[in-house]
Amino acid sequence: TSVKNWISQGVAPLAVGIPLIIGVGIALALLDPLLLVGLVVPVALLLSAMRVLAPIEYERTRRVRRVRGRLSSQVADTMLSTAAIRSAGGSERELQRIEKHSNGLVTASIEKAKVAGAIRGVAATTSGIATAMVIGSGLLAGLPTHSIAGALTIVGFLATPINDLGRVVEYRQTYRAARRIIGPAIDHPTDSAPARVELAAVPSGRGSGGTVIAELLELTDGTSMPQLAAQPGSRIMVATGNDRLASGLP
């Protein structure tokens, strides 16, 4: 979703907005170079503010993703172990844990929304400041009224692109936070895909008291694996010592 939003609502407005801003700047310069100054100053201040706020937005987006992941994991684990938790009398404890993660997600989302609101607010304010400075520049240059009116009409085309810059920065930081996790999978060349490891069929299995013991596990390359004993509800991680190999495990 983050990648899709960045492409559709981030890249597209930039592709339209940047040429439009440049075109408006050229048009104002043709009317009077001082009018261009009235546009460049607020846009430069906007870019400076974005440069300061964007890293904060990125860090808070990452925090929201981490907290949301913890909450999802906690809920999933609790649902899988509902019967055991109830029989052990741990329902209240698990509900408190979920509530703690939920409150953390609420707090992180609010902090993220504050920065996102600041970014969008700065972008919206820039449009009004640019209009006021173009009027002031026209009066300072002694331009006739019809020239100032024409300049205001031209500047009016920038209201939407400048407002979109706030959303673009937000989508960009969300995309960066998401790509930090899914980027290696996206960038992985198909011709150098990790080797896939498969386990041979288990010849025998025995167990007592719900414990399952698997013996004679062997990888396709002939490597013998140690005996595996699994208790009910156990989690088993197979570590190969090789990142490329491990990432290809089914």
Mean pLDDT in order along the chain per 10 residues (250 residues): 88 90 90 88 92 93 91 87 83 88 93 92 89 88 86 88 88 89 68 43 47 71 74 68 46
pTM: 0.66
DSSP character for 219?
Answer: B
H or E stretch covering 167: helix 159-187
Q: What is the pLDDT of residue 196?
A: 42
Q: Which residues contact 240 (CB under 8 A, 6 or more apart)?
A: 197, 246, 249
Q: Which residues contact 10 (CB under 8 A, 6 or more apart)?
A: 167, 168, 171, 172, 175
Q: What sign results for the dihedral spanned by CA atoms 136, 140, 142, 147? A: negative
CA pair distance 174, 111, nearest whole angstrom: 14
Q: What is the pLDDT of residue 227?
A: 74
Contact between 127 and 151 (Cβ < 8 Å): no
Q: Tell the residue number behind the tokens 């920038």, with chain if given.
A: 158
CA pair distance 126, 118, nearest whole angstrom: 12
